[in-house]
Structure 1
Amino acid sequence: MLKSLAAVAALAAATGSILLVPGSANAKDAKGTKKWGPIPTAICKEWPSLTDVLIWQKETIPPGEGLQIGTDTIYHDKLVDPTGATVGYEDGRITVIQKRASDGHFIGWIEQTATIGNNEFKTSGLFDMTEVIFHGGTGHMFAVGTRGAYKGWVGDWTLKVEAPTVEPKIWQAHDTVNICKINR
């Protein structure tokens, strides 16, 4: 075990990944029955500072004004790293599916295919569009690697809308991607 753990630790250090080490593999319930089996380990990769820049979008808005149930947008964005280099792209769709009765906020379903280098990710999730777009909130999506070195890895893709600074200055967000390979 030490040889393989050392190899995993070396890989984590070389790739800038985070290594989670297992604790007890003998988790038991209140009756003393083994409940879960081995505690998983994980190797994770994070892209903490991507700027998500809108290139184009097509929006379908039902009759009426502004954001409402049925508003549907498809888009193409580029992903830019802190040095200003384009490192990937996103193609996605977001649809307003609910107006929450408790506060009037619009809830959207988002799904997208994103590439970072030679790696492809599928993301999806529900989030409070009113909070994310108009009040500076953060949207969270489930992410899974579908091609490349991170195929099969799972994680979280977040976005926070910010004032545009990168051309074409239409719309942009700060994205953080954290994806992990879970070992059992």
Structure 2
Amino acid sequence: MLKSLAAVAALAAATGSILLVPGSANAKDAKGTKKWGPIPTATCKEWPSLTDVLLWQKETIPPGEGLQIGTDTIYHDKLVDPTGATVGYEDGRITVIQKRASDGHFIGWIEQTATIGKDEFKTSGLLDMTEVIFHGGTGHMFAVGTRGAYKGWVGDWTLKVEAPTVEPKIWQAHDTVNICKINR
């Protein structure tokens, strides 16, 4: 077992490994060559309170009852801000790809294209559909700006299903978008 930083550094030098020094913002290899730049900063934009209102969906369900592996849904939603104004739209698809053995929950793969004003975002990720749809859980998706002022920005798009309050009262969720430009 190595008991000193010098021993660790010697081992790193012998193997060509990268040496991470605790408390250092910059990684260096064993020869002292800088491998990482300074810790990046970020410029971020958040839309904390969007209501995601289902306008239409087409669902393909394999033979059987209820949600199951292979259930595939395409949908079109509108995004409404807290004042009630429509600020954008989502077009997406979610497909059930797994029934988790540990708890029987259905896991879906979701992909969306969303617009907020003149800006476009692509989102994707795995959702525990049982938790999100039936138990009030929050789903998280990776988001990236693909057009407009936020092109190239990355972040998180969350959704939480809620009781419908905005017409048409079919299905809706509370969405929060947090997207950042990483400054190096």
Task: Give how far 1:6 is off.
Answer: 41
Structure 1: which 5+ runs fail to align?
Answer: none
Q: Is the 8 A contact 1:28 1:34 kept in 2?
A: yes
Task: Give how far 1:7 is off.
Answer: 45
CA distance in 2, matches of 1:170, 1:14: 64
Distance 1:15 1:139, change over 3 A: farther
Distance 1:16 1:90, change over 3 A: farther
Task: Give how far 1:64 is off.
Answer: 0.1
Distance 1:46 1:122, change over 3 A: same
CA distance in 2, matches of 1:87, 1:62: 35
Q: Is the 8 A contact 2:123 2:157 kept in 1?
A: yes
Distance 1:11 1:172, change over 3 A: farther
Q: Is the 8 A contact 2:80 2:88 kept in 1?
A: yes
Q: Is the 8 A contact 1:25 1:39 kept in 2?
A: yes
Per-residue CA distance 1:51-97 (angstroms, 9 max, x = gap): 00000000000000000000000000000000000000000000000
Q: Is the 8 A contact 2:18 2:29 kept in 1?
A: no
1:156 aligns with 2:156: yes
Alignment of 1:34-183 (within 5 A): 34-183=34-183
Distance 1:121 1:100, change over 3 A: same
TM-score by length of 1: 0.84
Q: Is the 8 A contact 1:46 1:179 kept in 2?
A: yes
Per-residue CA distance 1:4-57 (angstroms, 9 max, x = gap): 999999999999999999997545579966442221111000000000000000
Task: Give how far 1:127 is off.
Answer: 1.1
Aligned to 2:31: 31
CA distance in 1, matches of 2:42, 2:67: 40
Number of aligned residues: 184
Give the CA RMSD over aligned residues: 11.8
1:15 aligns with 2:15: yes
Q: Is the 8 A contact 1:19 1:43 kept in 2?
A: no
CA distance in 1, matches of 2:88, 2:6: 32
Q: State the identity as a percent.
A: 97
Distance 1:31 1:4, change over 3 A: closer
> Greater CA radius of gyration, 1 or 2?
2
Distance 1:145 1:7, change over 3 A: farther
Q: Is the 8 A contact 1:157 1:176 kept in 2?
A: yes
Task: Give how far 1:146 is off.
Answer: 0.3
CA distance in 1, matches of 2:84, 2:96: 32
